[in-house]
């Protein structure tokens, strides 16, 4: 019994970090969380050892032609030669997978393959900030935005550099199995379940010796008190900063304001409660700091595009459908009227 199939496309010289992340998220058996878990299939141009960075050799058990049979196709980051000339058979396989309605994901410079396949024409896309100029020159039909950590159009997803592979894989996991499962996998990987902001976090030089970790204590403090009516002056006092300095730290580190961060954290907590509990909507609103159901519905809908009730219904429906799809067939019992009489 196999789960959702993830086809991971690898090419010669694939950077090992971007390769390891989908292997960790999708290729590690976590059937204690969701059964069945994903089935990861590594796909390459041909059989035999394939070099990656760091002197490691890969052995892919599947070919590029197998990618359209996967439910999700992930194109790992590319070495420079493959960026300049993406393998035609990989481009064709990705194009065919998209035609069949598969979810297509590019990690970092894997976006070069999606662009070569024409999947990004006229759409926003991102890639590693160091490749932004080259990518924009090669694919002028793509609306390149090198700011976000990832851009998800539903059918096509592109990501920023290296570490963003973790963000997007957890994002996909959250889409498939909910925030609670994604949060537990993040906890096991010892990474945050969601990072705010974008590549500006790492491309913008620090100001006055500020470090990304400076906000960690106040973020932890606030995350433990989301049910309370927190204010920016409170956060500033906990951080031992003025409100103006706190706002600048949030903008420089996370790319958003303190209130935007609070809103996102509360919505994510509401998602987890809607997935994992039967609490009434009014109680979910109180536990997440929205105060009442009306406020929860307004902010939750603005962030997610659906109401809390719809989110709970859709998530529960998807979960029960997945269980039913993979449940063993019931035993066939003889009809009483056909049982032979002794």
The model's pTM is: 0.65
Bond preceding residue 36 cis, omega within 30 of 0: yes
Q: Do 136 and 221 share a structural domain?
A: no
In a domain, 193, yes or no: no
In a domain, 267, yes or no: yes
Q: Do 137 and 38 share a structural domain?
A: yes
CATH number of the domain bearing residue 35: 3.40.50.880
Write out the chain's pLDDT in tens, 342 residues: 568 999 999 999 989 898 999 999 999 999 999 999 999 999 998 877 888 887 788 888 999 999 999 999 999 999 999 999 999 999 999 999 999 999 999 999 999 999 999 999 999 999 998 888 899 999 999 999 888 889 999 999 999 988 899 999 999 998 899 888 888 898 899 887 776 555 443 333 333 333 344 788 899 899 999 999 999 999 999 999 999 999 988 887 777 889 988 998 898 899 889 888 899 999 999 999 999 999 999 998 887 777 888 888 776 655 555 555 545 444 443 433 333 333
Q: Do 244 and 167 share a structural domain?
A: no
Q: Do 292 and 171 share a structural domain?
A: no
The residues, any chain, with a CB within 8 Å of residue 162's CB and separated by 6 or more, are 15, 17, 18, 77, 108, 128
Continuous H helices in the chain: 16-27, 80-84, 88-99, 111-116, 132-138, 164-177, 179-189, 200-203, 216-223, 232-239, 243-254, 258-276, 281-287, 293-304, 308-326
Q: Do 105 and 9 share a structural domain?
A: yes
Question: What integer pLDDT is reported at residue 259 of this predicted model?
Answer: 92
In a domain, 99, yes or no: yes
Where is 143: in which H helix or E strand? strand 143-144
218 vs 155, 192, 196, 223, CA distance in Å? 37, 15, 15, 8
> Of 131, 155, 188, at which residue does a domain stop?
188
170 vs 179, 182, 270, 292, CA distance in Å? 9, 6, 18, 30
268-281 CB burial, b ≥16 within 10 A, e <16 = bbbbbbbbeeeeeb
Q: How many alpha carbons fall within 13 Å on the CB side of residue 202?
A: 16
In a domain, 340, yes or no: no
d(CA 36, CA 31): 6
Q: Do 141 and 105 share a structural domain?
A: yes
Question: Would you say the C-alpha torsion 206, 209, 211, 214 has a positive or negative sign?
Answer: negative
d(CA 112, CA 116): 6
d(CA 274, CA 178): 10
In a domain, 119, yes or no: yes
Domain range enclosing 99: 5-188
Question: What integer pLDDT is reported at residue 304 of this predicted model?
Answer: 74
- Name the residue among 235, 191, 189 with its Cα closest to residue 215: 235
Domain count, the chain: 2
In a domain, 330, yes or no: no
- Name the residue among 1, 125, 10, 152 with its Cα closest to residue 67: 10
3-state secondary structure 1-67: CCCCEEEEECCCCECHHHHHHHHHHHHCCCCCCCCCCCEEEEEECCCCCEEEHHHCEECCCEEHHHH
In a domain, 271, yes or no: yes
Q: Do 238 and 145 share a structural domain?
A: no
CATH number of the domain bearing residue 252: 1.10.10.60
Tokens matching residue 224:
């433990």
In a domain, 331, yes or no: no
d(CA 198, CA 102): 26
Question: What integer pLDDT is reported at residue 209 of this predicted model?
Answer: 34
Q: Do 11 and 129 share a structural domain?
A: yes
Q: Do 184 and 95 share a structural domain?
A: yes
Q: What angle do CA 294, 180, 220 make, to 5 degrees?
A: 80
d(CA 300, CA 305): 7
Q: Do 266 and 224 share a structural domain?
A: yes
> Of 154, 188, 222, at which residue does a domain stop?
188
Q: Do 116 and 67 share a structural domain?
A: yes
Q: Do 259 and 180 share a structural domain?
A: no
The residues, any chain, with a CB within 8 Å of residue 238's CB and separated by 6 or more, are 217, 218, 221, 222
């Amino acid at each position: 019994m196999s789960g959702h199939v993830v086809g991971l496309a690898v090419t010669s010289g694939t950077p090992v970090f971007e390769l390891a992340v989908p292997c960790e998220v999708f290729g590690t058996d976590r059937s204690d969380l969701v059964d069945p878990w994903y089935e990861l299939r590594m796909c390459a141009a041909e059989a035999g050892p394939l070099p990656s960075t760091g002197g490691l050799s890969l052995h892919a058990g599947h070919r590029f032609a197998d990618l359209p049979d996967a439910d999700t196709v992930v194109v790992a980051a590319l070495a420079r030669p493959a960026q300049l000339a993406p393998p035609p058979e990989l481009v064709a396989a990705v194009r065919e997978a998209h035609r069949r309605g598969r979810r297509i994901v590019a990690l970092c410079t894997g976006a070069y393959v999606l662009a070569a396949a024409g999947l990004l024409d006229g759409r926003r896309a991102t890639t590693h900030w160091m490749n932004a100029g080259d990518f924009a020159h090669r694919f002028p039909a793509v609306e390149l935005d090198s700011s976000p950590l990832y851009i998800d159009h539903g059918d096509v997803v592109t990501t920023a550099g290296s570490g963003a592979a973790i963000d997007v894989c957890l994002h996909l996991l959250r889409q498939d199995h909910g925030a609670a499962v994604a949060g537990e996998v993040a906890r096991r990987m010892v990474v945050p379940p969601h990072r705010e902001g974008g590549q500006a976090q790492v491309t913008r030089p620090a100001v006055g010796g500020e470090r990304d970790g400076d906000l960690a204590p106040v973020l932890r403090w606030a995350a433990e008190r989301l049910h309370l009516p927190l204010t920016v002056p409170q956060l500033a006092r906990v951080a031992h900063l003025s409100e103006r300095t706190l706002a600048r730290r949030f903008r420089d580190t996370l790319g958003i304001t303190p209130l935007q961060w609070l809103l996102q954290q509360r919505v994510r907590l509401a998602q987890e409660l809607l997935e994992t509990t039967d609490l009434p909507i009014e109680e979910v609103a109180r536990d997440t700091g929205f105060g009442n159901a009306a406020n929860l519905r307004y902010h939750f809908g603005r962030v997610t595009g659906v109401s809390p009730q719809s989110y709970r219904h859709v998530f529960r429906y998807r979960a029960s459908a997945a269980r039913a799809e993979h449940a063993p067939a019931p035993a066939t019992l003889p009809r009483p009227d056909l049982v032979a009489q002794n």
